[in-house]
Amino acid sequence: MALTFYKYQGTGNDFVMVDNRKHTFPTDDEALVKQLCDRRTGVGADGLILLQDHPDYDFEMVYYNADGRVGSMCGNGARCTVRFARQLGVIEDVACFLAADGEHQASVERDLIQLKMHDVKAVEQIGEDYFLNTGSPHYVRFVENVQDLDVYKEGRAIRYNERFAAVGTNVNFVERISDDEIFVRTYERGVEAETLSCGTGVTAAALVAGLQGLQSPVKVKTLGGELEVAFQQTERGFIYIFLIGPAKQVFSGSVALPQAQQI
């Protein structure tokens, strides 16, 4: 048997997308997810996403990391899922859907997907660095010459340090380019490598940039393209946070499944 899939990318963060509204995908098969995400022997992606029906929402997004395990919120993946839902005819220009961290709203505006993120009340300062949760945990460090940084080495050292080793954290290295723009590179847990972009990561970086005086919206440059993060900063934290950027279908196809994994 063969599995029909769709490949999407949002600023270089790429995903295998599966229409699972008939609930036929083996959701507990970590090995299958890992195989599909493998860039040498599978389709190749930073993660796999199932679009499923839900009685109370337009759809449900179920996200898996490339290691095969169910992941936390994925901002770029959510934007890609909204685009996927629109192309399937599940939604038109607005969506209310369920993700790992709860309910989200989104809108489609031509090439851009505008995704509402959850409020962020707590930002912990660790020396000169920061730690916060934007649907996924993120460590944020400001650096100079981020393009020359060994993100794999430096990010892995933080992700596997004594505090974060057990559960993991994503690690973002941020360079301030101007009064309204930053450049972000991210080491992602679950992928265990640098990705070309991370939606919850650029959101975290933009909010920390807001603490340092940058005004909303913050423009964000990544290796895979450009995003924008809008927010309101209050005494109780950040509210009305929006992650804005493109999401596109790259191709679709089918892949043969081993006998033991046929669905």
Q: Is 198 a catalytic residue?
A: yes
DSSP 159-196: HTSTTTTTT--EEEEEEE-SSSEEEEEEEETTTTEEES
Name, in order, each residue with C-beta under 8 angstroms of 154's C-beta and a sequence gap of 6 or more. Answer: 171, 173, 187
Q: Is the distance from CB of 59 to CB of 90 less than 8 angstroms?
A: yes
Q: Could you say which of 37, 80, 96, 198 is catalytic?
A: 198
User: What's the rounded Cα separation, in Å, for the pair 126 and 136?
Assistant: 18
Q: Is 96 a catalytic residue?
A: no
Q: Which residue has the tokens 């290295």?
A: 173
Length of the chain: 263
Q: Could you say which of 37, 74, 80, 96 is catalytic?
A: 74
Active site residues: 74, 198
